[in-house]
Amino acid sequence: MTNVTLKVEGMSCGHCVSAVEKAVTGAGANGSVDLAAGKVTVSYDEKKVSLDTIKQAIEEQGYDIA
Amino acid sequence: MTNVTLKVEGMSCGHCVSAVEKAVTGAGANGSVDLAAGKVTVSYDEKKVSLDTIKQAIEEQGYDIA
């Protein structure tokens, strides 16, 4: 598994945490959100999903990745 | 119908708007959220639902009413 921490802008509340986590899960990865820090740590299998796909799923929920 | 505007604290994003509107609708009223102003205008029939019930539904979603 590969672990990457992304800086995600625009997460403001618990609903945002859920939306981002669902996006990451939906892309076939696992995500852990640190709301206060504005960071999302994603854990994924590079053979199954690309980081770009995960990033895109987060962005599609309306959040920007710095 | 009775219209009341409540000052609701803690609404930070579009998900919060949805959560509050659903709470108001679930209580049997109609709600319109002004996110920037932190205000929720509720429209309800006093014969069918009390303002207290509507307020409680919003608070149950984790928001404070000032």
Q: Across all residues in chain B, what is the average pLDDT?
A: 97
- Taking CA–CA distances from A13, the nearest residue in chain B reads B12
Taking CB atoms within 8 Å and a gap of at least 24, the contacts of B45-50 are: B45/B1, B45/B2, B46/B2
Set of chain B residues whose Cβ sits within 8 Å of the Cβ of A10: 13
CATH code where residue B19 lies: 3.30.70.100
Cα distance between residue A60 and residue B10, in whole Å:
24
Structural domain total, chain A: 1
Asked if B54 and B24 touch (Cβ cutoff 8 Å), the reply is: yes
How much is the pTM?
0.85
Set of chain A residues whose Cβ sits within 8 Å of the Cβ of B62: 14
Number of cross-chain residue pairs from A and B with Cβ atoms under 8 Å apart:
19
pLDDT at residue A45, as a whole number: 98
Give exposure, B10-20, as e/b (b: 16+ Cβ within 10 Å).
Answer: ebbbbbbbebb
pLDDT in tens, A14-44: 999 999 999 999 999 999 999 999 999 999 9
Assembly ipTM: 0.75
Q: Do B12 and A14 touch (CB under 8 A)?
A: no
Read off the tokens for A47.
């053979």
- Taking CA–CA distances from B63, the nearest residue in chain A reads A13
Q: Which domain holds residue A47?
A: 2-65
